[in-house]
Structure 1
């Protein structure tokens, strides 16, 4: 009899614990792209492992940052992902907490530059990407970022607008090629401004580039490598330039929302996302390039990603603090030197 009572007690205790776990809800804020793929690769497997519910909110960075700020005193988001500049902006506004990396078993598997990308302990990089130059190998030779400014090429080149995520890094690389890579980007903008009437366009969406390439209106354009898959499918001789300055680098990072009631669960989700199996699966599905240096993928997958130590360690990262501190000055200078 006592054994039956004890067994029943254990059963109800276990049932109560499971019910409690099932009732846990983690709310995350992410970019809106490839969410079906993320659901298959990441969200559902995590829910199965934690026995919890994952609520996913999407939107652009401005909208998502605004929501964090509007709910600062009573957070409705537990964890978010942003660009490094937006992650730093959130930290400066007091919207995020330090991440206890001791609770991330996969932290040491990350590239060193992804571990604390803004140097404030408030973010962890989960995907990296490079920005380089896609170009027509039959029309031109590209050995330096400065080649985009040559008279014989400029009228077949598209450059990103300064308002895009690629704008600052591209100008930084052009400045580097000219030997004038100051954070105000003034010299690079002046050089671009001198040829502003020659360039085909200053694009605001990378999706424009596929059509421009296909119609042979452009021969070259700097772009994030996430756009390479679409460009490389064109029936044209297009290559990725191996410039002497290398490629620009950037990454997206995870942040922990200050005051969240589910920080422990958020840390578990972060760790799950950073794990070698998850980072490998996400890479193989061509969703994101891995920040986990232990990931191994086939060569045909690797060429479509920002992948491997040889590639990652040669990237030039424009500090997020530079982007934040100079963003308004860049726009003012761009309007004067380029957009006039």
Structure 2
């Protein structure tokens, strides 16, 4: 995902009171920009020294499990699925609503999200496509099975960010609803003649699109930003059915040494000024309704970039996905991509 974030090593877990030090854990991508855009201004405004060290979702989550008795992290910025896993494991603690007033100004899904943490940015799965191949508008989910597209589409691996949302869209399109994954897997197996490649990286997908080797691919809206800005014949559109969004969540670690500072950081991250800066610096779509997004976001995604709910997007059913994700990964490899 394009969200940036930071992790760090600090002292052992303490009473959770105030301190002038804070340890924040988050993503590797764009860490330097995040430090300039969020961390340094936060330190200047509050006098709190932030320690950070980037890492992947899985690596950081596993560290939390190992260190749960003596956590050395205060705030974790992590994807929705890992956040849900951590909440079930008791790794995180409740956030005091009175300490994070900026949440009241967020879009509906972030304001009402279940669990302990708070969503601070989101991604929009949909379909990237060649405007040369589809001059009259984007392909529908069902049209990806058109025999004329044999060997001309790419499909995300189920472990990619767009993978499970595409599975849900296929279930909505061909099955009885978003949980009809048996129908979805059967249809994905039928799609194989049209698939040139199952992709797992953004670079891989964009190269295929820009060379014209594929003309359509389920993927995230942010994948299209650079190509659209450069005037290349690439566009993105929401799925016509089965629109689910993914998000990153700010969580406070159970037993954190500085819960007061952690809540202050989360509130700062949700402020309209910071959300505007992060949208511009590294394409994190804001959840604060007063934030301003760069023009490319709305050029690519329209109103969904600022109000996904109004565009028909709903969050993933994290309980359903979390209970089945491991089996789906195995099944995808066995029945679809293998």
TM range (shorter): 0.7 to 0.9
Specify the alignment match of 1:46 in structure 2: 42
Specify the alignment match of 1:124 in structure 2: 118
Shift in alpha-carbon separation, 1:242–1:48, aligned structure 2, 3 A: closer
Query: Out of 126, 141, 147, which is 1:145 matched to?
Result: 141
Query: Is contact 1:180-1:188 (8 Å) kept?
Result: no
Using the TM superposition, give the Cα deviation of residue 301 of structure 1 relative to its aligned residue in structure 2, in angstroms.
Answer: 5.0
C-alpha distance after superposition, 1:29-87 (max 9, x if no partner): 00001112111111000000111210112111110001111111111000101111100
Using the TM superposition, give the Cα deviation of residue 186 of structure 1 relative to its aligned residue in structure 2, in angstroms.
Answer: 1.8
Query: Out of 260, 263, 267, which is 1:267 matched to?
Result: 263
Using the TM superposition, give the Cα deviation of residue 204 of structure 1 relative to its aligned residue in structure 2, in angstroms.
Answer: 1.1
Structure 2 CA distance, aligned partners of 1:194 and 1:301? 34
Query: Is contact 2:168-2:242 (8 Å) kept?
Result: no
The more displaced of 143-152 and 35-44 is 143-152
Specify the alignment match of 1:320 in structure 2: 318
Structure 2 CA distance, aligned partners of 1:42 and 1:230? 23
Using the TM superposition, give the Cα deviation of residue 313 of structure 1 relative to its aligned residue in structure 2, in angstroms.
Answer: 4.6
The more displaced of 267-276 and 98-107 is 98-107
Structure 2 CA distance, aligned partners of 1:221 and 1:87? 27
Query: Is contact 1:142-1:243 (8 Å) kept?
Result: no
Specify the alignment match of 1:339 in structure 2: 337
Using the TM superposition, give the Cα deviation of residue 323 of structure 1 relative to its aligned residue in structure 2, in angstroms.
Answer: 1.7
Q: What are the equivalent positions in structure 2 for 1:91-130 lying under 5 Å apart?
A: 91-117=87-113, 119-120=114-115, 122-130=116-124
Structure 1 CA distance, aligned partners of 2:60 and 2:316? 23
Shift in alpha-carbon separation, 1:48–1:242, aligned structure 2, 3 A: closer
Using the TM superposition, give the Cα deviation of residue 335 of structure 1 relative to its aligned residue in structure 2, in angstroms.
Answer: 3.0
Q: What are the equivalent positions in structure 2 for 1:47-66 lying under 5 Å apart?
A: 47-66=43-62
RMSD: 2.1
Number of residue pairs matched by the alignment: 317
Query: Out of 66, 73, 76, which is 2:69 matched to?
Result: 73
Specify the alignment match of 1:199 in structure 2: 195
C-alpha distance after superposition, 1:268-327 (max 9, x if no partner): 000011001111111222431001112134544533565222665521322111221011
Shift in alpha-carbon separation, 1:231–1:177, aligned structure 2, 3 A: farther
C-alpha distance after superposition, 1:134-160 (max 9, x if no partner): 111221353421111211124210000
Specify the alignment match of 1:284 in structure 2: 280
C-alpha distance after superposition, 1:107-146 (max 9, x if no partner): 10011211242x22x1100001101111112213534211
Structure 2 CA distance, aligned partners of 1:215 and 1:143? 19
Query: Is contact 1:183-1:326 (8 Å) kept?
Result: no
Uncovered stretches (5+) of structure 2, i.e. residues with no partner: 1-17
Specify the alignment match of 2:10 in structure 1: none
Specify the alignment match of 2:220 in structure 1: 224
Structure 2 CA distance, aligned partners of 1:95 and 1:242? 34
Structure 1 CA distance, aligned partners of 2:189 and 2:274? 44
Structure 1 CA distance, aligned partners of 2:230 and 2:152? 17
Specify the alignment match of 2:6 in structure 1: none
When normalised by structure 2's length, the TM-score is: 0.87
